[in-house]
Chains A and B, each alone.
Chain A
Amino acid sequence: MINKQSVNQKVAIVPTESDGNLLNNKLLARFIRSKWYPALFQWLTASAFIIIMYQLLVGPSKAHDNLGTALTWVLWWPLIPIIFLLLGRFWCAICPFATLSDLVQKFVGNNRPMPKFLKKYGIWIIDAIFILITWSDHVFGIVESPWGSGVLMLGLTTGVVVSGAFWERRTWCRTLCFLGGLSGNYARTGMLALRGTPEKCSKCTIAACYQGTVNAPGCPLFEFPKTMESNANCNVCGHCVKNCPNDSIRLTLRFPTKELWTMRKPKIEGAFLSVVIMGIVFVQNITMLEVWQSILSWLENVTGTQSYYVTFTITFFVAMIIPVLLLALAAWIAKKLNGDSLLQNFAKFGYAIIPLDIAAHIGHNLFHMLAEGKSVVYTAMALFGKNVEGLSPALLDSGSIQILQYILIVLGVAGSIYTAYRISKHNYGQGNVVLKFAPYAVLMLLLMVVNIALFMLPMAMRM
């Protein structure tokens, strides 16, 4: 920690220009520098989390009647990708699990360095956990079962407590949380960017943003704004804003997907997560379609077993592997055109799928939010003895929801194709850029067709 005196000595440097920095707004800057940010939001979400956990574990056994299920899977889960798109990883700053981690750390934390294996394989671990949770959800019916959802939360809570008790900062959020991995990827397309001002940071020798001061702890996600190029691991918690003695931190709005255009070190595991998310969206959609039972019956006949574990696992594997193979195929074709290796192509252009991921993710969950949204109100009313019978939980009719889903997918594909184009332009210059990214454009169009086809079929409710 750096003492207050050394911080105050540096305060003289002030920003001199208005350059789209949201922190130039005095009210916002004052709020972010105050003790109320992000504490105010943290306590709100922590309170909601306690209600949700109580409902999931001891509330009505049926998802249809459970406020915890409604708040988690009908309201929060559909909103989360929208939050990532608008505000980057802001959710991670106010996530109740992170608050719990901070509390545990404050009182009993050992603050040991993040283990090397987590540092090295963090994203792969996240990939694996994400796939495992999605598989478990379908096999054990986690979303449909309040108790199942509660047990999932208890498992996550235990992981958070262990991480907070022994390791420094938010090791859990950075290297283990499946939602953290998802949010990291989605935040790359986010409209909010936090960075240091290079001219100021270059003269800085105290690194208060990373180390922490009496004003606030250091960056919880191990980021150093001076060298930060991505918002994947910035949760906009405001600690660096509070700590920086040079007013170097800038918070700006940017064009969605912009960060993806010029990534210097695309990672294969990050690209893999992007494409796996598309597979997960496929699985989520397929299993909620009314045609799913027919697919299951067919699989039962083919495999000769009625075990859902077997039939679903096959479906899950196929749905996961199809987008991965398609991207690999596109990368294989593209390598002949752009000269990069297959893996380089996979890593560079895998990120271009993220806009479509977000669109498909929002599109799928939009159905739940808009077709079942009122269940949040109904289940909340039931807590006070006001039972609502026979009323539709829908906020919008299914036809209108479908149109919104199609619009989202088209926007997502446009975003993905444009991103692939920009990546191609950034990497291969002006000549033959269109040809070099053409295989990816075809891939995005194909994924668009699959997504639209899935949205055209009737879908089952969550509640």
Chain B
Amino acid sequence: MTATVAPPPAKVPEPKAPRRPSRVAELLRNLMTPWTLIVIGCSVVVIYLTVIPLWFLFQGTFAGENGPTLDGFRRALGTGSDMWGMLGNTLVFGVTSTIFSIAIATPLAYVLVRTDAPFKPLFFAASLIPLIIPGVLYTPAWIFLADRDIGVLNQLIFEPIFGEALLNVYGMPGMIWVHGLHNSPIAFLFMVAGFRAMDPSLEESALVSGASRLRIMKRITVPLMRPALVASGLLLVVQGIESFEVPALLGLQNGVYVLTSRIYLATHQYPIDYAAAGALALILLGIAALAAAFSAWLVRDARHYQTITGKAFRPRPIELGRARKWVGTGIIGYFIIAAVLPLLVLVYASLLSYYRPPSMDVFSTMSLDAFREVLAMSTVESAVKNTLILGIATATIVMALCAIVAWGVARTKVPGRNGLDILTLTPLVIPGLVLGLALLFVYLRVPLPIYGTLWIMLISFITQHLPYGMRFSMAAVGQVGQELEESALVSGASRAQTFRRILMPLMSAGLFAGWVYILIHTLRSLSTIILLYSPGRETISVLIFSAVQNGDYTVVAAIGVLLMLLLLVLVAGAYKVGVKYGLAKDE
């Protein structure tokens, strides 16, 4: 097949140009290569997806009856609203929970990828459990574990032993604990991908040269992981400052307010104050842009972090020796705290008629009624189907799109590429309601049969998950040495071939991690879906929403348990396929 299309080996002489070639023509010829067109095409798609809601946000914020106005900002920052206090809380929450997530996830990922630690097969799927539990359940699970009055841990462990309830899940420390634990899988996925792509010989040579393990960690390992650290840090910080679930449940009770509480106020009053909500979202956007610029500066010397180079390497697991049992204990401890305890609470809650702390009386009333109720819902079958279609489609499209765009941002010198990078972060801070309204506005008017179908939901999901796809892709591109591409090009491969044959396989660990994350995250997205879905096109999050509305927490818990089983099967299956197609194995 290649024979028919391959160029003849003989050199075709260039036709003599009668006059000087026009520079425009030359530029055009450079631009017209298929690869350039693909990169430009993908970038245009990303710009299209992000600019529409952004334009809506700006318009809603600044448009007044008599031309542009700053009234939205005035109302948002209005007198007596304690802006600085809220801003401070927002930043403390976002940054500290990020540090916490990364501090837990990095050693875990290192141990999984680089050592002979025990329990590895359990590891990958189990590490995702906190991610799979929807926030609407994970936070209440922690209330049921560590509330002073009704918390199981306080009642069963701390009160009998210490005489008082020592755990208190409310306030800033509790918020950081719960949010940090819940999101540690994001950092974990980044770090696993990063460590897999790292040449251990660098550490080995340091070891041979007499450096201590700690010193190696400090001078070699952590610096080399900078792209993954920075990418996950950026994502987590931005996600932290825009999240409301944890601050709403754990902060409000202690009077800890964050900026998103004010967005809540603006969108829950009558009439909805889009301008004030937009102004606050733009402030968040400003913080996100600063964070993005800072993170770009942190990894400015791209070549320093390229650990996948022309030199072949074979990761050899470090033998832990006597430390092995301590590491094993640590791993088990993490899973008990981050996954097993919340999961047990969930299973426990799903067996009750309404949630209450455990007692003999409670155990005698347990039943499977909540599961029966879920399975009897008329919409459950189509909801599972729609959720899976949307989740798989979103994860695949976003990762394909972002891998290409990330190449453009990381490897070219095109002006504006950093702006594109920041643009992909914006969906994270745009309130879901604004994104939904923007999509409604556009697709109600374009003459395409998209409105009222899964397509519009897919478009909203793709938009919302661009920030994740882009971060995972940027981290993955950042570790692949440019010389590999350069040698492929020198050997006559095209850019497209290089991307497909060299870069994609080398990025596969990072891309797969992003794919898994997005697939799981789509299950939790609700705010825009509630505007865009139509009957027959419900997703699982819509079912959860209506159960929450009704106060049926045991049903919500049952949905959560079933969801977890479904996702574990799915992720395990995807992982198997991934291993078959060259994804590095852990064993």
B is bound to A: no
Instruction: State the B residues within 8 Å of A (CB).
Output: none
